[in-house]
Structure 1
Amino acid sequence: MLTHLSLRLRIFLFFCLLALGAIAVSLGSLWLSFERAATPALLDPFIFAGLLGTFAILGLCAGIWLLFDENVAKPIEILAAEMRLRAHGGVSRGIDAKTARYLGDLAPAAAGLAGELGDATQLTARSIAEETARLEADKRRLTALLSELPVATVMLGPDHRIVLYDTQAATVLAQIAHPRLNAYLFDYLDRQALEAAYDRMNKSGKEVQAQVIGRDAAQSYAVSLKPLGQGEGYVLIFEDAVAQIAPEAARPLVYDFDLLDRPLRDIGDRPLNELCFTVFDTETTGLLPHKDEIVQIGAVRVLNGRLIEGEQFDTLVDPARPIPEASTRVHGVSTAMVQGAPTITTAAAAFHLFAKDAVIVAHNAPFDMAFLRRHAKATNVEWDHPILDTVLLSAVLFGASVPHTLDALCARLDITIPPALRHTALGDAHATACALVQMIPMLQARGLNSLAQVIEQTRRHGRLLEDLNPVDNHGSTWQAGKKT
């Protein structure tokens, strides 16, 4: 019945029950003694003894519980998190046995197991690295071959979601919006013309040509649609893209073929490692969302449990006011740097499209989202995405008693943030995304397989965000030292 509660909470309830039982026995004994004495004049001394005994029992149980919590329950929670880090989080460093020095042989045994697991992990990692190197060599050969072909290619599933694109196609798509896997092609090109061409292709079973306009109606494109097989999707080629791109340009591929045969289901029930996440961070003129402004937005995408290299959003934002020198010293963005940059309405609209159909992730998300939501009406967008906060994910995995700053989380997961990128929107977003990728298998190992299950767990630690973002006297949230 209490299995859904944390170990420390269950132990706390156990000591509460123990204290109540001891108090009940003590008061019962005093009452029976008073009844046997049959001396009403002794009532006050008996009441005093009862109160004294009650406070003594409460103090004793509280003291023992604090010692037990600090030296047994908390070390067990830390030890479990450390073992989970090594089993599922890709961390190989040794376990500090001093953390659980009062747990007898449990800590040395866990450290030994972690060492064995680390050796096995390193052996497996070497094998994976060798196989990855071979696959990368094959991929480079394929990339070199494609570089000789004068086409800009996009592969799509039967639901018109992007499964693969090359650099030439990415350049064409970027004229409209940021290219990204799992995005609908209709985010870039006119739906009506594409669906008509798609129907003709399916009926004939052969390649068809069409002329389509961009979603922004700024440009027209000649395209060819080639079927992959009945119900298996198709390849779209931009016929006139060659002249737009230097012929010697490298053409790495961005792809995920699992998207071709993934069944559609409600996002809340979908496994975490099948979700699309947009991980972002902002830099601002100050720490008050009700009056300060964003000066930089950075974001990356995580799809199917991996970071998609090359799919990133990075823009400076003109706050239409001078940037305080104190803020510039933190994030390095000066007033001169944002001259000519897009306004928040333009930048937020572009970021909203980049994050379309994805779960938004941030470290201390209420802070960053407060800035975006304040401008939502002017931007003409709704921030109705599901949102995950890595502060709360850290609390779910490692307990609420340890630090949950971005630096602490990255140190725990052996993630290194280059000093030049720390406190930049894209640098912090990339670090947060790396942390998310490592935490996904750890969450699934705890039986938290779906987004709905994870959100339910994070709600239990909502107090952490309240402490990070107290309400000021304007009714807005802010965080002192948000970027620590």
Structure 2
Amino acid sequence: MGGRGLLGLGLRLRVFLFFVLLALGALALAGGALYLGWSRLDPPGPSAPFMTAFLIFAFANTGLVLGVWLLFDENVARPIDRLAAALRLRAHADLEASVQAGAAPYLGDLAPAAEALARRIGGAKSASADGAEDGGEAESLRSDREQLTALLTEIPIATILLNPAEQIILYDAQAAEVLSRIAPPRLRAPVSDYFDMGSLRDAMRRLEQGAGETILTLFDTARSQGFQARMKQLRRGGHMIFIEVQSEPDADGLSARPLVFDFTLHDTAQSREIEDTPLMDLCFVPFDTETTGLSVARDAVVQLSALRVLKGRIVEGEVFDSYVNPGRPIPPASTRIHKITDALVAGAPPMPDVARAFHHFARESVLVAHNAPFDIGLLRRDAAEAGLTWPHPVLDTVLLSAVVFGTTESHTLDALCARLSIDIPEGRRHTALGDADATARALVKLLPLVAARGITTFGALIAETRKHGRLLRDLND
């Protein structure tokens, strides 16, 4: 293994290999010395005493080196890893991760120096935040956005903005209501996922021929619903669609939906293989399930929830949350954990219907789960009944946590959230939506940490997670 390969290994593994080399070197020297002594006997004597001495030395030397390695690993290598992780959390994840000066007593002044640096970073961030607050810019932007959302809600027209690749990059609350009649609304989704492209293509051709604005009838993909609409072409490329809303908007319902947009999606990069795609260009769908038990083979889903993460941010308002009728009684032991009763799921759709809706929500995305073999296993088990396949790439936050914090740390969802300063309200823990939200927030904070380690593409990240396969099996083929 070359030097470059060694640098790709973790610190603790490199330290372990150093001690292995030290033990082997000592055995080689002892063996050579004993052989030299035996070969110089005059007259030649039996080799058995020398072999016995060598074996005794081998066992004693191995035990000594192993003991010293364990002490070195516990008091030097692991504290260094922890200090590095804490500093990365401070620097890249905007967290107040504590660095205790006494956390590494055998590393001399390294821990106090790291603590001082962490405090300096925290102080600089606090000063920057105070300056921003004094300026009031963030508050002003939030206020402007809320007023714009309220204004669009009052106008009985649904607004959708498409980029040149015909992907949705903005929709208001009323557009979300229209889209949700067809499928769950998704930012960066192809408009063809919702509407029949025949009338859209005709309208685009009229606009290219010089029409400033054109009227059209939009049909959903099944051509079961029609919507009167107007369409305009934008100077920078892309189109704006205005859909007439027939009924009066429900102010209470629409106010719960934000204006959803991301103008950085206007200029879409050319598609590439998933392995070569930068992590920040991917769409992630963190999800979680609640079930009747803990067996993938025997138990059934009673709730499935998910969020969407784009450009390293949770997309506000894009939430999938559904109870599932399991077709069987929910055991009381399971109800005590997730608080889902038979009455709550009595009128819920069956798993095939929920799976098909979730499949649409998760199109062209990476599925993210904490302990993915369980949740993905449930989806794949029921795929045939729903007429689906699940070829989606998969990212497990257990393995992602191991990449950032090391295999030997605790990687439960509670431990990971505590490490990342993510608060899970008591009432939301062990609910599918609460755990999906916690997983999404953990993902958003972990992505900058892996990027800081030079892991910037999906292929590179999966290669790293596979190094921790003794924790969980990677599900990517």
Interval containing the TM-score (normalised by the shorter chain):
over 0.9
Structure 2 letter corresponding to 1:141? Q
Q: Distance in 2 between matches of 1:453 and 1:200?
A: 45
Residue 247 to residue 114, structure 1, CA distance change in 2 (3 Å) = closer
Matched-pair contact (CA < 8 Å) for 1:294–1:344? yes
Aligned twin of 1:475: none
Q: Report the alpha carbon displacement of residue 244 of structure 1 after superposing the two structures with TM.
A: 5.1
The SS at the match of 1:465 is: coil
Q: Is the 8 A contact 2:86 2:97 kept in 1?
A: no
Offset of 1:219 from its aligned partner?
A: 1.1
Residue among 365, 376, 387 paired with 1:369: 376
Choose the corresponding residue for 2:218, options 212, 215, 219: 212
Instruction: Measure, in 1, the Cα distance between the counterparts of 2:258 and 2:40.
Output: 92
Indicate the SS of the match to 2:209: helix
| Distance (whole Å) between structure 2 residues aligned to residue 194 and residue 346 of structure 1 | 29
Mapping 1:48-447, distance limit 5 Å: 48-129=52-133, 130-229=136-235, 232-239=237-244, 241-243=245-247, 245-246=249-250, 249-250=254-255, 252-266=258-272, 267-447=274-454
How far is the alpha carbon of 1:247 from its aligned partner?
Answer: 6.2
Query: Which stretch shows the higher mean deviation, 33-42 or 428-437?
Result: 33-42
**Structure 2 vs 1, CA of residues 167 and 382 (structure 1 numbering), >3 Å: closer, same or farther?**
same
- Alpha-carbon shift at residue 128 of structure 1 (Å): 4.3
Cα offset, 1:74, TM superposition: 0.8
Name the aligned partner's letter for residue 297 of structure 1: L
- Change in Cα spacing, 1:82 to 1:189, as seen in structure 2 (3 Å) is same
1:79 alignment partner AA: L
Residue 138 of structure 1, CA deviation: 1.7
- Match of 1:295, as an amino acid? V
In structure 1, list runs of 5 or more residues that go unmatched: 470-484
CA shift in 2, pair 1:247/1:296, >3 Å: closer
Q: Structure 2 vs 1, CA of residues 63 and 116 (structure 1 numbering), >3 Å: closer, same or farther?
A: same
Q: In structure 1, what is the equivalent of residue 471 of structure 2?
A: 464
2:466 is aligned with 1:450: no
Are the equivalent residues in 1 in contact too, given 2:338–2:431 (CA < 8 A)?
yes
CA RMSD of superposed structures (Å): 1.7
Shift of residue 39 of structure 1? Answer: 4.3
> Which residue type is aligned with residue 204 of structure 1?
G
Cα separation, 2, equivalents of 1:375 and 1:147: 39
Which of 36, 39, 61 matches 1:35? 39
SS at match of 1:243: coil
Counterpart contact for 1:272–1:451, Cα < 8 Å: yes
Please tell me the residue identity of whatever aligns with 1:427.
G
Match of 1:15 in 2: 19
CA shift for structure 1 position 195: 2.0
- Does structure 2 retain, via aligned residues, the 8 Å contact 1:278–1:361? yes
SS in 1 for 2:260: strand
- Per the alignment, residue 473 of structure 1 pairs with none
Match of 1:474 in 2: none
Q: Give the secondary-structure state (helix, strand or coil) at the position aligned to 1:268.
A: helix
The alpha-carbon deviation at position 40 of structure 1 amounts to: 4.2
Matched-pair contact (CA < 8 Å) for 2:156–2:249: no
Q: Is the 8 A contact 1:206 1:227 kept in 2?
A: yes
Percentage of matched positions with identical amino acids: 50
Contact 2:154 2:249 in 1 (8 A): no
| Number of aligned residue pairs | 466
2:408 is paired with a residue whose SS is: coil
Cα deviation digits, residues 244-294 of structure 1 (max 9, x gap): 523685474110000001312323323222221111000010111111110
Q: Give the partner amino acid of 2:282.
A: L
Q: Measure, in 1, the Cα distance between the counterparts of 2:347 and 2:291.
A: 17
Residues of 2 paired with 1:353 and 1:178: CA distance?
A: 7
Aligned-pair distance for 1:346?
Answer: 0.3
Distance 1:200 1:268 in 2: 39
Distance 2:250 2:383 in 1: 39
Moved more, 117-126 or 314-323: 117-126
Take 2:97 and 2:450, find their aligned partners in 1: how far apart are those partners?
A: 20
Q: Is the 8 A contact 2:153 2:173 kept in 1?
A: no
CA drift at 1:223 = 1.4
Quote the Cα distance in structure 2 between the aligned partners of 1:464 and 1:225: 52
Whether the 8 Å CA contact 1:93–1:118 is kept in 2: the answer is no
CA shift in 2, pair 1:282/1:43, >3 Å = same
Give the TM-score of the pair, scaled to structure 2: 0.94
Measured in 1, the distance between the counterparts of 2:193 and 2:175 equals 14
